A and B are shown apart, each in its own frame.
Chain A
Amino acid sequence: MVTMMMRSDDRSAAPAFSRWIALGRVIRRETLIGWLFVLPALTMYAVFVLLPFLLSVRYSFYRWDGIGPMTWVGLKNYRTVLEVPNLLETIYNAFRLVAYFSFIPVTLGLVVASVMYRVATGSFGAAARTVLFLPQVIPLVAAGIIWGWLLALPGLINEILRAVGLGSVTRAWLGDFDWALPSVGLIGIWVLLGFCTVLLWTGMTKLDPALYESARIDGAGWFTEFIKITVPLLRHEIGVCLTVTVTAALAAFDIVYVATAGGPGNATAVPGIQIYILAFTQQRIGLASALAVMLMVLVLVVILPIQRLSRETTL
Chain B
Amino acid sequence: MRISRAELWAGRSLLFGLMAITILPFISIFMTALHPSGTVPRGFEWPDDPQWGNFVEAFKVAEMPSLLASSTFIVLAVVPIALAISTMAGFAIGHLRIPGSRSLLFLFVFGLTLPFTGIIVPLYYLERDMGIYNTRLAIVLPLIGLYMPFAVFWMRAHFVNMPAEISEAARVDGVSTWGLFWRIHLPLARAPISSLGILMSVWTWNQFLIALVLVEDPTQRTMAGALGAFQGHYATDIPLLCAGTVIIVLPTLVLFVLFQRQIIAALLQGSVKG
Report which A residues bind B (CB closer than 8 A). 1, 4, 7-8, 11, 30-31, 33-35, 37-38, 40-42, 44-53, 55-56, 59, 66, 112, 115-116, 118-120, 124, 127-142, 145-147, 149-150, 152, 154-159, 190, 193-195, 198-199, 202, 209, 212, 216, 222, 236-237, 240-241, 243-244, 247, 250-251, 253-254, 257-258, 271-272, 275-276, 279-280, 285, 288-289, 292-293, 295-296, 299-300, 303-304
Q: A55-B126, A116-B15, A124-B12 are in contact. Are A34 and B272 (CB under 8 A)?
A: no
Cα–Cα distance between A250 and B118 once the two chains are bound (Å): 11
Contact, CB under 8 Å: A37 / B99: no
Contact, CB under 8 Å: B256 / A137: yes
Which of B7, B25, B146 touches A222 (beta carbons < 8 Å)? B7
Report which B residues bind A (CB closer than 8 A). 1-3, 7-8, 11-12, 14-15, 18-19, 21-26, 28-29, 32, 40-44, 84-86, 88-89, 91-93, 96, 98-100, 104, 107-108, 111, 113-126, 141-142, 144-146, 148-149, 151-152, 169, 172-173, 177-178, 181, 202, 205-206, 208-209, 212-213, 223-224, 227-228, 231, 238, 241-242, 245, 248-249, 252-253, 256-257, 260, 263-264, 267-268, 271-272, 274
Q: A253-B117, A253-B209 are in contact. Are A145 and B227 (CB under 8 A)?
A: yes
Cα–Cα distance between A106 and B268 once the two chains are bound (Å): 15
Contact, CB under 8 Å: B256 / A134: yes
6 contacts between A and B (CB under 8 A): A1-B169, A45-B108, A45-B145, A116-B15, A199-B271, A253-B209
Shortest A47–chain B CB gap in Å is 6
Please give me the 10 A-B residue pairs with the lowest Cβ-Cβ distance, nearest first.
A48-B145, A251-B115, A34-B98, A119-B11, A55-B122, A139-B224, A41-B89, A37-B92, A156-B43, A272-B117
Shortest A72–chain B CB gap in Å is 17
Contact, CB under 8 Å: A138 / B206: yes
Q: A154-B41, A285-B121 are in contact. Are A134 and B264 (CB under 8 A)?
A: no
Q: A150-B43, A156-B43 are in contact. Are A137 and B115 (CB under 8 A)?
A: no
Contact, CB under 8 Å: A59 / B173: no
Cα–Cα distance between A149 and B238 once the two chains are bound (Å): 8
Contact, CB under 8 Å: A149 / B242: yes
**Residues in chain A near residue B224, CB distance under 8 A:** 139-142, 254
Q: A190-B22, A300-B113 are in contact. Are A41 and B148 (CB under 8 A)?
A: yes
Contact, CB under 8 Å: B104 / A42: yes
Which of B96, B181, B208 touches A139 (beta carbons < 8 Å)? B208
Cα–Cα distance between A289 and B267 once the two chains are bound (Å): 31
Contact, CB under 8 Å: A141 / B228: yes
**Residues in chain B near residue A136, CB distance under 8 A:** 267
* CB-nearest residue of chain B to A44: B145
Q: A34-B92, A35-B98 are in contact. Are A49 and B119 (CB under 8 A)?
A: yes
Between A11, A135, A141, A289, the greatest number of chain B beta carbons within 10 A of the residue's beta carbon is seen for A141
Shortest A259–chain B CB gap in Å is 10
Q: A66-B125, A142-B249, A244-B271 are in contact. Are A37 and B144 (CB under 8 A)?
A: no
* CB-nearest residue of chain B to A125: B15
Contact, CB under 8 Å: B177 / A30: yes
Contact, CB under 8 Å: B208 / A141: yes
Contact, CB under 8 Å: A44 / B15: no
Cα–Cα distance between A49 and B253 once the two chains are bound (Å): 31
Between A37, A118, A150, the greatest number of chain B beta carbons within 10 A of the residue's beta carbon is seen for A37
Which of B24, B91, B104 touches A156 (beta carbons < 8 Å)? B24
Cα–Cα distance between A252 and B227 once the two chains are bound (Å): 18
Contact, CB under 8 Å: B42 / A159: yes
Which of B42, B116, B148, B151 touches A154 (beta carbons < 8 Å)? B42
* CB-nearest residue of chain B to A280: B213
Contact, CB under 8 Å: B29 / A253: no
Which of A49, A55, A150, A254 touches B148 (beta carbons < 8 Å)? A49
**Residues in chain B near residue A157, CB distance under 8 A:** 43
Which of A11, A133, A257 touches B228 (beta carbons < 8 Å)? A257
* CB-nearest residue of chain A to B25: A146
Cα–Cα distance between A1 and B44 once the two chains are bound (Å): 69
**Residues in chain B near residue A209, CB distance under 8 A:** 1
**Residues in chain A near residue B249, CB distance under 8 A:** 138-139, 142
Q: A129-B264, A142-B249, A243-B274 are in contact. Are A272 and B115 (CB under 8 A)?
A: yes
Which of B12, B144, B202, B238 touches A48 (beta carbons < 8 Å)? B144
